[in-house]
Structure 1
Amino acid sequence: MKVLYFAWLRQKIGVGEESVDPPADVADVRALVAWLKERGPGYEQAFQDLGAIKLAVNQEYADLDHPVKRGDEVAFFPPVTGG
């Protein structure tokens, strides 16, 4: 699974993208986030306020209950503002 991090999420985690192989019981984005938070303090900080994060699965906006599987691309980013 390819995971992408943008803006301040990338800064807190320390990478812009990574390939991960979560356990088989990680079936949705919520479970993926819980698993990622266990990987270290940068992840814990980045995902502290899930209300401040938008996400996409395979380049389609999604929510925390969206299913994920091997080979998916999951992107996390702050809300986009216009101006």
Structure 2
Amino acid sequence: MITIRYFASLREKLGDGDALALHELGTPTVGGVREALMARSPLHAEALAARAGIRVSCDHELCDDAHAVTERAEVAFFPPVTGG
């Protein structure tokens, strides 16, 4: 199973995380993970939309939607952050 983690405001909206099997993905990429999650509900679709500036990592490395995933990957989504 692919482990999905959400951080900050995404965790507040979507909960602690999810899991997906590799065969549930249209394509075995981070983008495929995002698409599969967005298909779960309108809330997921709104929260994870690329236009929302959501960043993603796979196995603790920042990546883009073209990054390949494996069955045991951990994919994390987090919103842009600011500090001061």
In 2, Cα distance between the equivalents of 1:24 and 1:78?
23
The number of residues matched between the two structures is 82
Q: Report how far residue 79 of structure 1 moved.
A: 1.8
The structure with the largest helix share of the pair is 2
8 Å Cα contact 1:10/1:16 also seen in 2: yes
1:56 paired residue number: 57
1:16 paired residue number: 16
Q: Report how far residue 64 of structure 1 moved.
A: 1.1
In 1, Cα distance between the equivalents of 2:37 and 2:46?
11
C-alpha RMSD over aligned residues: 1.7
What is the aligned-residue identity percentage? 33
Q: Which amino acid aligns with 1:37?
A: M
What's the secondary structure of 2:77's corresponding residue?
strand
8 Å Cα contact 1:12/1:45 also seen in 2: no
Q: Report how far residue 49 of structure 1 moved.
A: 3.9
Structure 1: 5+ residue runs without aligned partners?
A: none
In 1, Cα distance between the equivalents of 2:33 and 2:42?
16
In 2, Cα distance between the equivalents of 1:73 and 1:25?
18
1:66 paired residue number: 67
List structure 1 runs of 4+ shifted beyond 2 angstroms: 48-51
Structure 2: 5+ residue runs without aligned partners?
A: none
8 Å Cα contact 2:25/2:36 also seen in 1: no
TM-score, with normalisation over the residues of structure 1?
A: 0.83
Residue 36 of structure 1 pairs with residue 29 of structure 2: no
